[in-house]
A and B are shown apart, each in its own frame.
Chain A
Amino acid sequence: MEKMKKLRPSLNGIVLLAAFLGIVVIGTVASRNFLTIRNILSIFQQMPEMGIMAIGLTIVIITGGNDLSSGTTMGLCAVISGLCLTSGMPIALAVLVSLAAAVLCGCLNAVLVAVIGIPPMIATLGTQMFFYGAALVLSKGNSISNIPREFYFLGQNKIAGIPLQAIILVLLTVILAVVLKKRVFGKHLIAIGNNSKASAYSGVQTERVLFAAYIICSVLCCIAGNIQVSRVATARADMGYSFLMPCISAVVLGGTSIDGGIGGVGGTVVGVIIFAMISNIMNLAGISSFWQQLATGSILILVVVFNKITENHKLQRRKKESN
């Protein structure tokens, strides 16, 4: 009986699946090129960057926080990596330097949120601007081209016909899903998101867990940044700046509560795929990309409001029951 209950899909799961299928149908009807292997591969060549950033963001949002600086962290890491690469540094070292920068970004966010206690949205709004400024200063406001060809493998290679970055995304998603479900750290993330005080009172080292969460998010942004540098063979400060909105939208669409405590990376990836398909269909149908901006914003609002309404509804029902 208990097991049966577990198998029953959640409301959010149904909505997500319906949205996914609905968009596939729309895509198939709208363009005969939509369901071709070529097109699907091109979706999977472009969306992993956003996907990787979004799963990192999921980890932070589950703790009841948020990282509005994730987009500019990606830009900063891309610029650092680009500068190192063009200065002739070995590729491995260049990537390592950008990863180190990401760790520092994550640490700064975590210090502001976990140690000083600034509300996460406010703290990361500040660092968003700071990282963007740092990236602009480092790149002197220019885009960095002349990325060495040897670096192209990360964003342009395929293994058995599948883009390398898609494989990276799948690997990272599986790892984080297992961490969330099966590791003590994952359980602690969820516990903090539900009630950080009670978690601390239960012996969860909340500061340490939050540091890890923000660092993971920044590092994933850095990986996404490196992939994009490799794919488009340039590095710019505003890379990733436009990713923030769709990423947050994808996270909440994927079933993670914006207030924390509930969620998973699987849903987030489905959310990102949905957004990727929407923009792909628009491109195929020749609809201007401006509609995408409109669509992402509307979806975000609709999803949060919808979640809030169902949540309030549940709360009221419970109160009635307990009477």
Chain B
Amino acid sequence: MEKHVFLEMSNISMTFPGVKALDQVSLNIREGEVHALMGENGAGKSTLIKIISGVQQPDPGAKILLDGKEVEFPSVHASIQSGINAIHQDLSLFPNLTVAENIYLGRSKKGKIDWKECDNIALEALERLSVQMDIHELLGNLSVAKQQLVAIARAISLSSRLLIMDEPTAALSFSEVRMLYEIIRKLKKENIAILFISHKLDEVFEVSDRVTVLKDGKYVGCKNIEELDESMLVQMMVGRSVSYEALNQESHASEKILEVKNISREGNFKDISFSLHKGEILAFTGLVGAGRSETVKALFGLNPPDEGEIFIHGKKVELKKVSQAMRHKIAFIPEDRHQEGLILNMSMRDNITLPVLSELLDRLGFTNGKKTESLSEEYVKTLNIRPGQIEKMAKNFSGGNQQKIAVAKWLVTKPDILIIDEPTHGVDIASKTEIHKLLKSLAKQGMAIIMVSSEWQEVFALSDRVIVMRHGRIVHEDSTKTGDQNLMMEKAILGEGKA
């Protein structure tokens, strides 16, 4: 028997300056179902659940029906009133309050706090999870896993109809994950629907009834779990058609430019060794939180390793500061363009020339407008950045063109090694193809490129070799041409290869 659909969302779009995070997405939830929301990084899953839970408001035109009546979720409070509550990835807890208070807060009451009620609600919620802990302990003193349980307890105490979880098992151990599955089944029996985001295929097949897949902010489809198998689901997430030409690549054995030996950093990565050759594209892949970005940041002096050695051109080097890395002709384009990659309130010219400003001086040591102008113009042309107005502020460009500005900014330093973290996140298809072609041609000219990417299509199409990371370690390394692509995916997603 099909259960009643109580929440129907359609035409949900969300625009941030420069990028469309969601583009006419729809989603419907049935009573008491477990619904998985899947998609690669940047597909828009987190944005969608922020809209349902009232944290963010969608663009005008969105339609949300609750029990057939059109509603809005203008605030978190409104969502809670409708019986909907979310556990966000960053947990949204208060380290300076007690466990009981963390669970109790959000009930938006006024006046005096009824401590008895507070304790009772906390105890009851924890009991439903079959968890025992001191509810008067300060949350900040608990382990991450226990904090996660508190977050779940709070959400279930607030959610009468829909509980949303953003990667709930990310920080849990195996037995705690089992326990969570139990909780999910129990809630289902109480006719509470659960919407959860996960990257883990096994998890999705284990607990969910239906799956909605998003890709690049667009709706791909919604299927019953019985209609799917793992490879079909992966295909929905990754996308079937290869939208850019298979960029053909000849292997070129060439000079080794970088060698990393057994570097480790506490809480970041452990025992990482690899080498990089001229003209090669090396991909780092794995799930979010696998330590990929942390590892490549170590090569740019942002995250210096505690132990291990790094060699460039066969010479041992110290990379403790960005300036040292730059001196060794390393460039790094971070994933977060808005916070780390670009300075949004400065012009394209100022952004592009910032790393090389001290080389563009006139005889008196003043910055030279002509030199910065001609250099910027040159790269605007080579990278086809549109519009080509160099005085325009970086924030006023589209996502794709912003990424091109970020690339241009580092190409001006003429690097030997280019590190790029998620090169095409939040970038439109046309710019994506252009950026891929550009990376390819840079490699052909002899640049060594390290790319961090969660998109398999990108990894297989672009890179010569791939390194798979999981929980801070390298678990697999192979050539993308001769290696088994399925094995690589499973190593990253499932941990242990099933093939």
Chain A positions near chain B (C-beta within 8 angstroms): 2, 5-6, 178, 182-184, 187-188, 190-191, 194-195, 197-205, 261-262, 318-319, 322-323
Contact = CB atoms under 8 A, between A and B. Distances in A.
A114 to B, nearest CB: 14
B222 interface: no
Contacts of A205: 321, 323
- Describe A's contact surface by its main secondary structure: helix
B433 interface: no
B17 A319 contact: yes
Nearest to B368: A182
Given A182-B367, A201-B322, A202-B409, A187 B357 contact: yes
B340 A197 contact: yes
B262 interface: no
A203 B322 contact: yes
Contacts of A204: 354
Contact of A191 (B18, B302, B322, B354): B354
Interface in B15-38: 15-18
A6 B369 CA distance: 14
Given A195-B343, A201-B340, A187 B367 contact: yes
A261 B345 contact: yes
Contacts of A190: 346
B135 interface: no
Nearest to A196: B343
B344 interface: yes
Contact of A182 (B341, B358, B366, B395): B366
A217 to B, nearest CB: 23
Contacts of A261: 345
B59 interface: yes
A125 B37 CA distance: 49
Contacts of B341: 198, 201
A190 B367 CA distance: 14
B357 to A, nearest CB: 5
B354 A202 contact: yes
28 contacts: A2-B389, A2-B391, A5-B391, A182-B366, A182-B367, A184-B357, A187-B350, A187-B354, A187-B357, A187-B367, A188-B357, A194-B345, A195-B339, A195-B344, A195-B345, A197-B339, A198-B341, A199-B354, A201-B340, A201-B341, A202-B343, A203-B322, A261-B345, A318-B395, A318-B396, A322-B17, A322-B18, A323-B60
A53 to B, nearest CB: 27
Nearest to B331: A203
B361 interface: yes
Please give me the 8 A-B residue pairs with the lowest Cβ-Cβ distance, nearest first. Answer: A182-B366, A194-B343, A195-B343, A202-B354, A194-B345, A184-B357, A203-B326, A184-B358
Contact of B355 (A5, A178, A203): A203
Contact of B361 (A184, A191, A198, A262): A184
Contacts of B395: 318
A6 B395 CA distance: 19
B187 interface: no
Interface in B371-411: 389, 391, 395-396, 409
Most chain A CB inside 10 Å of its own CB: which residue of B354, B355, B358? B354
Interface size class of B (residues with CB under 8 A): 35 or more
Given A183-B366, A195-B343, A201 B323 contact: no
A195 B340 CA distance: 8
Given A201-B322, A201-B340, 20 more contacts: A2-B389, A2-B391, A182-B366, A184-B357, A184-B358, A187-B350, A187-B354, A197-B340, A198-B339, A198-B342, A198-B343, A202-B409, A203-B323, A204-B354, A205-B321, A262-B345, A318-B395, A319-B17, A322-B15, A322-B17
Nearest to A200: B322
A205 B325 CA distance: 13
A178 B342 CA distance: 25
Contact of A183 (B322, B355, B367): B367
Contacts of A195: 339, 343-345
A162 B460 CA distance: 73
Contacts of A318: 17, 395-396
B334 interface: yes
B367 A191 contact: no
B104 interface: no
B284 interface: no
B365 interface: yes
B196 interface: no
B73 interface: no
B322 to A, nearest CB: 5
Among B340, B343, B396, the most chain A Cβ lie within 10 Å of the Cβ of: B343
B334 A201 contact: yes
B219 interface: no
B332 interface: yes
Contacts of B345: 194-195, 261-262
A191 B347 CA distance: 11
A45 to B, nearest CB: 33
A101 to B, nearest CB: 30
B311 to A, nearest CB: 22
Contacts of A199: 343, 354
Nearest to A2: B391
A55 B300 CA distance: 36
A45 B395 CA distance: 44
B321 to A, nearest CB: 8
